[in-house]
Amino acid sequence: MTSKQVLPGDEIAVEEEYVAAEGTYVRDGKIYASQVGTLVLDDTECIAKVIPCNPPNILKEGDIIYLTIDDCRKTMATATAIAAEGTDRSIGSSTVATIHVSKISPDYTDNVAEEFRKGDLVRGRVISVKPSLQITTKDAHLGVIRAQCGICKTELKAKGNKNLYCPKCRRSQPRKLADDYGDVKI
Ligand SMILES: [Zn+2]
In which band, very low, low, confident or very high, does the pLDDT at 55 lie, cut at 50, 70 and 90? confident
Instruction: Say if residues 46 and 21 touch (Cβ distance below 8 Å).
Output: no
Q: How many CA atoms lie within 13 A of 128 on its CB side?
A: 8
Strands 133-136 and 171-174: unpaired
CB atoms inside a 10 Å sphere around CB 34: 16
Distance 139 CA to ligand 1 centre (A): 28
Averaged pLDDT for residues 67-80: 97
At 3-52, the pLDDT tens digits run 688 998 999 999 999 999 999 999 999 999 998 889 999 999 999 999 88
Distance 14 CA to ligand 1 centre (A): 67
According to DSSP, residue 140 is labeled T
Which residues are registered as beta bridge partners of 25?
32
Distance 163 CA to ligand 1 centre (A): 14
Query: Do residues 78 and 152 share a domain?
Result: yes
Question: Mean pLDDT of all residues in the chain?
Answer: 93
Averaged pLDDT for residues 113-136: 96
Establish if 90 belongs to a structural domain: yes
Query: Do residues 116 and 24 share a domain?
Result: no
Query: Do residues 70 and 126 share a domain?
Result: yes
Total number of domains constituting the chain: 2
Position 1 pLDDT exceeds 60: no
In which band, very low, low, confident or very high, does the pLDDT at 133 lie, cut at 50, 70 and 90? very high
CA distance 63 to 18: 37
Query: Do residues 46 and 111 share a domain?
Result: no
Produce one character per residue of 161-180: b if its CB has 16 or more CB atoms within 10 Å, e if not.
Answer: ebebbbeeeeeebbbbbbee
What's the CATH code of the domain at 161? Answer: 2.40.50.140
Establish if 57 belongs to a structural domain: no
Distance 155 CA to ligand 1 centre (A): 8
Query: Do residues 73 and 141 share a domain?
Result: yes
Distance 40 CA to ligand 1 centre (A): 55
Query: Do residues 95 and 141 share a domain?
Result: yes
Query: Do residues 22 and 87 share a domain?
Result: no
In which band, very low, low, confident or very high, does the pLDDT at 93 lie, cut at 50, 70 and 90? confident
Neighbours of ion ligand 1 (CB under 5 A): 149, 151-152, 154, 166, 168-169
Establish if 59 belongs to a structural domain: no
Q: How many CA atoms lie within 13 A of 40 on its CB side?
A: 13
Tell me what pLDDT residue 53 has.
Answer: 74
Query: Do residues 27 and 109 share a domain?
Result: no
In which band, very low, low, confident or very high, does the pLDDT at 56 lie, cut at 50, 70 and 90? confident
Distance 177 CA to ligand 1 centre (A): 18
Tell me what pLDDT residue 2 has.
Answer: 57
Averaged pLDDT for residues 172-183: 94
Query: Do residues 111 and 69 share a domain?
Result: yes
Averaged pLDDT for residues 142-154: 95
| pTM confidence score | 0.74
In which band, very low, low, confident or very high, does the pLDDT at 176 lie, cut at 50, 70 and 90? very high
Establish if 58 belongs to a structural domain: no
Distance 145 CA to ligand 1 centre (A): 17
Establish if 8 belongs to a structural domain: yes
What's the CATH code of the domain at 40? Answer: 2.40.50.100
CB atoms inside a 10 Å sphere around CB 66: 19
Tell me what pLDDT residue 89 has.
Answer: 79
- Structural domain for 152, as ranges: 64-174
At 83-92, the pLDDT tens digits run 999 887 788 8
Q: Which of 27, 51, 75 is the last residue of a domain?
A: 51
